[in-house]
Amino acid sequence: MIASVARSLEAGDVSERMLQRVRGHYGDRVRLARFDALQMPYATGSKDVLIIFEAIYYLANLPAFFAECRRVLRPGGHLLIATANKDLPDFNPSPHSHVYPGVIELRDECAKQGMSVRCFGYLDTEAVSMRQRILSPIKRIAVGLGLMPKTMRGKQLLKRLVFGKLVVMPAELQAREVQYTAPAELPTDRPDRRHKVIYCAATVDAAASRHA
């Protein structure tokens, strides 16, 4: 889907195993590289858009990541982030994560790099299934008492209990297969405690870049 609207597309991951899975499906349709997001193999000012999807919380040094994005992006370029919302009352972090940035943290880290920010919320907790509404207070209590699973296997089992049978994501999507739901724009002066997913769209200030 991204390649269909981009002049060029490159992708990467720190895991060689993950890259092998991607190569197994896409072949040479997407240029891939193994790298750490804190040290991207791209020239300064060489990219129009950077996307990090549900992975920012695995990075050990968020300020270094945002500085690296600022280095790689052209003036007026965009950094797009999708992340779990750590400000929900029943939020439970991944056992492999470092720091989950919420709306406030995303705004502040981007501002340090001369990037303006718009944030959006997706999957409103007030619009989820009745089953999830009933189980949410139980999850909140379990999180507060430190009773949540500490392993990925345990989290998988918990998700099956809350959401039912897990669905295997297809290797590739076409635009016509996706029903688009616009996310709700969020104020950036306070945490969001309503949506499960936070989208952040940060833009490098073109005027500031010319004087950098």
Asked whether 154 and 71 are in contact (CB, 8 A), the reply is no
163 confidence band (pLDDT: 50, 70, 90): low
Listed in order, the ranges of the chain carrying CATH 3.40.50 are 35-168+181-210
Top pLDDT among 102 and 128 is at 102
Percent of the chain at pLDDT > 70 equals 86
Q: Which fold has domain 35-168+181-210?
A: Rossmann fold (3.40.50)
Top pLDDT among 148 and 49 is at 49
With a cut of 90, say whether residue 66 has pLDDT above it.
Answer: yes
Residues 14-35: b if buried by 16+ CB within 10 A, e if exposed: eeeeebeebeeeeeeeeebeee
Provide the terminal-to-terminal Cα distance of the chain, rounded to the nearest Å. 34
**pLDDT at residue 211, rounded to an integer:** 43
DSSP state of 183: P
DSSP state of 188: S
What average pLDDT does this structure show over 58-69? 98
With a cut of 80, say whether residue 29 has pLDDT above it.
Answer: yes
Strand, helix or coil for residue 34: strand
45 confidence band (pLDDT: 50, 70, 90): very high
